[in-house]
Amino acid sequence: MASLASAAAPPGEAAAPAVADVPARAVTAGLLGPDRPVAGFLDTAGILRSVGALRAAFSGVPDVLHTFAAQACPLVPVLRLPAAGMRREVASPGELRPAPAAGFAPGRIVLDSPVKTGAELREALDLGVAVNADNLAEVGRIARLRSRGCSSVLGLRVNPQVGGGAVAATSTATGHSEFGVALRGPGPRSACWRRSTATGGTRLHVHVGSQGCPLPLIAEGVAAAHRPAAAVDARVGGRVTGLDIGGGPPVDFADERVTPTHAEYVAALREAEPALLDGRCRLVTEFGRSLLAKNGFLAARVEYVKEREDGGWRSPTRARR
C-alpha cells in the first residue's frame, strides 16, 4: 500500500500529482511492474479531511465518541492516520491484535464482532477493551469470564427490525436478522436490558447496515434503538449511558462526489429523533468505508487483452464467464 499526498496540497507545499498521473509515476518508482503487479494508493491528506468533515458534522452534538472501523483497511499505517483523537472499532482477533502498533490503547478500542470465541472474549476483557455482546447467551458468557475490577465498557446489540436495504447480504435490521436481540414488543426490551445491566452493561449497540441502505432507513434504525432507552431505564434501572451506532452512510461509487455526506447523515438522525443528539446519551460512531472509499484506488498491471474475431476485445476474465 503506497501513500500519495493530497492533490489539494496546503499553501506553500508542492501539489501532489493528479490521480491519473500516479500509475505512471508508480511504474517509474518501481511500485508497479512485472514483479509487483498490484499496488494500492491512498490520499492521506484526503483521509484526514474526511475525518475533519465527520467531526464537523457532529460538532453540535454534546457527547459523541468517534471510532474508526478497522475492517475498512486494517493495515497499521492506515490505522494510524485517523488515530488522532479517534478510537478504533474491531470485529475480529486479526483487527484487535495490531492495535498497540497502531497507537491504540485497549481503552480506546470497541469489539463488535457478532461471533466471539471464549478466548477472544477473555482477551478483550483482560485488556479492558469495550465489548458489545451480540445476544443474551453472550451476556451470560461475559458474566462468567469477566473478572472483578474489569475496566471494559459493556454493551448489548439490539435489532431495531426496521427492514433491509438494497443489499440483502449486508442488511442487518430485518425482521429475522441473525444479529442482535430483537426489539419488537415491550417484554424483550426490559428482559434483555435487565440481563445486560446485571453483567455491568451500560450501552446499546445498533447496526442497520450501510452500503445499500438509504439514510432515512439507517436513521430510523438508530431512533428505534434510542426511543425505548428512557422507558427501559425507568422500568429496570441502570441507565443506558451510551448508544453505539454502527454502520455509516453508504458510498456512491458512480463518481468522485462524496454523497451522501456526513452532514447529511447527521441531519437524517436529527429528523428521525431530535433527542438522539441532545447529549443525554453518549453516541459512539463506527465509520470506515465513508472515510476511505473516495481517498484511494488500486492499480494493476495488465498482461494482455484477448482479441475477438470481429476485431473487438474483452478481458480474459470476462471471456471465461
pLDDT score for 157: 92
Using the structure block, give the residue that is written with the C-alpha cell 436490558: 193
Cβ-based neighbours of 11, under 8 Å, separated by 6 or more = none
Residue 261 · residue 53 · CB < 8 Å: yes
Cα 21 to chain centroid, rounded: 31
CA distances from 224 to 114, 173, 181, 202 (A): 20, 11, 13, 17
Q: Residue 93: is its pLDDT beyond 80?
A: yes
pTM: 0.84
pLDDT tens digits, residue range 168-191?
888 888 888 889 888 876 565 666
Q: Residue 154: is its pLDDT beyond 80?
A: yes
Q: Which runs of E-coded beta strand occur in 72-221?
A: 87-90, 109-111, 130-133, 154-159, 181-182, 201-207
314, containing H or E segment: strand 313-314
pLDDT tens digits, residue range 259-309?
999 999 999 999 999 988 988 888 999 999 999 999 989 999 888 888 877
Compute the Cα dihedral for 158, 161, 165, 167 and give only its sign: positive
